[in-house]
Amino acid sequence: MTEAEKLLQKLDKRSASWQVWIDDGEAIDITYSVDNMKVKQKIDCEAAALIRSQEAKIERMAEALREANILLHQYETAEWAKLFKQAAADLSADVTRLGQELAAAVAREAAKQAKIDALMLEYCPDEMTQEQLAEWAAHQKPSPDQPEFPSAADGDATRWRHGEPTEGGKS
């Protein structure tokens, strides 16, 4: 029990007396009677003022804590944004790299299949299925080194034999 509570308990009685010892060894006698109720009221007022003061301090501390919490949240949000931005950049780079690797793997596989189809067409064309022939035909394109031949629709009488043009179809 605190000294203030003890004092308040003593003041609740109709009359009381006690001694308060001072540092130099002297004692002061305090007598309390019903007339001393003003002392109790004064103590109550001072206690209420102290409580209000403490409540104000607590409110200021709570406001500072709220502001610190807001700042912490802003900092954490910024840090998470940095982390997500870096993760997105890393993921984008990984996706690009994997896309390039996939495209290269598909090109290698297509080149191997073209080599297989060419070898089969050369050495065992009768063993190729219709699906294999259709797949091979779908991937045929002119060579970039091949010269362009005039079409018959051009009305040109020039004919080509062994890659050399002849006039009037004569060789």
pLDDT in tens, the chain (171 residues): 666 666 656 655 555 555 555 556 565 555 555 445 566 666 667 777 778 888 888 999 999 999 999 999 999 999 999 999 999 999 999 999 999 999 999 999 988 988 998 899 889 988 888 988 888 888 888 777 777 665 655 555 455 544 555 555 554
Range of 20's domain? Answer: 1-32
Q: What would the 3-class secondary structure string for 96-113 be?
A: HHHHHHHHHHHHHHHHHH
Kindly provide the b/e burial profile for residues 154-167, where b requires at least 16 CB atoms within 10 angstroms of the residue's own CB: eeeeebeeeeeeee
Q: Which residue has the tokens 């009359």?
A: 15
Task: Please tell me the total count of domains within the chain.
Answer: 1
Question: Which pLDDT does position 52 carry in this prediction?
Answer: 84
Inside any domain, residue 11 = yes
pTM of the predicted model as reported, rounded to 2 decimal places? 0.39
